[in-house]
Amino acid sequence: MTSDQIDLALPVVQAFVARAQSSFVHGERVAHDDNTWFDSLDPATGQPLTQVNEAGAGVVDHAARSAQSAFDSVWGSMLPAERERLLHRLADLLEANATELAQFDALESGKPVASVEAIDVALAVEQFRYYAGWPTKLQGATIPVASPDSHVYTRREPLGVVAAITPWNFPLCQAAIKLAPALAAGNTVVLKPSELTSMSSLRLAELAMEAGFPPGVLNVVTGTGPVTGQALITHPLIHKISFTGSEAVGRHLAAEAGRALKHVSLELGGKNPHVVFADADVDKAAAYAATTAFFYTGQVCFAGSRLMVERSALDQVMATLEEHARGLVMGGGLSETATMGPLSSELQREKVERYLQNAQDSKAQIAFGGKRPGGDLAAGYFLEPTAVLEPADDDAVVAEEIFGPVVVVQPFDDVEELVSRANAGNFGLTAGVWTRDGAKAHSVAARLKAGTVWVNTYGDFNAAAPWGGFRASGLGRDCGPEGLDKYLQTKTVWMALS
């Protein structure tokens, strides 16, 4: 880690980063069953932050057995009011340690720390507070069956041990989105964060112990997908897999879950149409379009990465888009002035650059950006915010999720054309619509194939509102009552009265 970043970090963060990171099982850090270590890098400098140990099959087995033991002995039968109290206590501790948690994610992901604290940590706290209210409200039903001598009712029961696998772009927030409902429903969890961003999840597990969670209820295993993740999802004690990440990995997990008949929920990628009609408040729409395209360097599943603009408004939108991009300040996660961070890795930056080269080869225009900055930023994984103008619908830059600071801009001429083209891809996570015409707004929102459609806004999110995608964007929903249901199973009880 560079000296200026160290100087900006809290002493508690400096001390945490200085020690090597290993899995957290049954309330303590554990020695791994092999000697594989890898560096967690600061993407702003390419320099090591800390070392992380990779959990092999032995540590994963220890974590799964610890979770099963905690479920059998205490958590699965704990009074709902007590689970509620512990979830509220953990939310309080997250809020009290918000700056510390934000610095972990900012260092490892490169995202601006002020935004991480204001958005990511706040959303994590919201998740735990929302689901803390649910344990005392999980009810079955009495079923009026035809038989007069039977009393039939249902119970809503936890699944058991859940595997939660989270991505590097929202480490703490995504952990909370999975942990809060799983724990509220009475399950125990083995969490595997991305190998790029392990520290906030490990600190979260420590805070859970401080809150009073019994050992084994929340375990964290560190390591890569092919080693640690594979051992986790194939473990016989894991009853459900909850995953957020790429479509390719999601398909693999779904296949593994199918073979073992495990429950599975997937929140995958998106190539999200962000639609601006000429009758909208174009200035406001363009400002949102610019913000959502480059927010967190475009490394966001719901990024407004496919900007579809009614042709007569194109020049106005493009001017605002470029003005916003020119005003972004690139820098490291703990920089006090940076408003856009680096890409997550050198491999990710090279992938984005290949998309841009392919777009140019297909005769699309790079309207602005697309270059690596020099000077003090040259060692990091930075790339200028970029707009690709009028690529063809079948170009990879349009059809595939880039996950970088790249927005493709496509003009359209009428509603029918817009709907047909917007729905042509494989994804269906989110969409945005800007128009002053209420009838048009409702009509287009109904016809777009997306799990969330924002109208005259973009990017709003709340723990109470279901979140997830259609088609290749995933299976199941996070957040809201639906986010809880997937961690429960229904038991029907028949009692003979005669």
Tell me which residues are annotated as active site: 267, 301
Q: Token pair for residue 452?
A: 């969330």
State the Cα–Cα distance between residues 102 and 167, nearest whole angstrom.
16
Q: DSSP E strands: which ranges in 277-334?
A: 306-310
Give helix then strand counts, H and E, for the chain. 18, 20
Closest by CA position to 235, among listed 19, 27, 60, 457: 60
Is residue 200 within 8 Å of 168, Cβ to Cβ? no
Is residue 189 within 8 Å of 175, Cβ to Cβ? no
* Residues near 142 by beta carbon (within 8 Å), at least 6 away in sequence: 151, 152, 153
State the Cα–Cα distance between residues 173 and 162, nearest whole angstrom.
18
Give backbone dihedrals phi and psi of 363, rounded to 5 degrees, phi first: 75, 15
State the Cα–Cα distance between residues 382 and 371, nearest whole angstrom.
9
State the Cα–Cα distance between residues 22 and 30, nearest whole angstrom.
7
State the Cα–Cα distance between residues 186 and 76, nearest whole angstrom.
5
Judged by DSSP in three states, 158 sits in strand
State the Cα–Cα distance between residues 52 and 32, nearest whole angstrom.
11
DSSP symbols for 166-212: --SSSHHHHHHHHHHHHHHTT-EEEEE--TT--HHHHHHHHHHHHHT
Is residue 252 within 8 Å of 100, Cβ to Cβ? no
State the Cα–Cα distance between residues 153 and 298, nearest whole angstrom.
49
Give backbone dihedrals phi and psi of 267, rounded to 5 degrees, phi first: -115, 110
Which class for 34: exposed (0-12), middle (13-18), buried (19 or more C-beta within 10 A)? middle
The amino acid occupying position 117 is E
DSSP 408: E
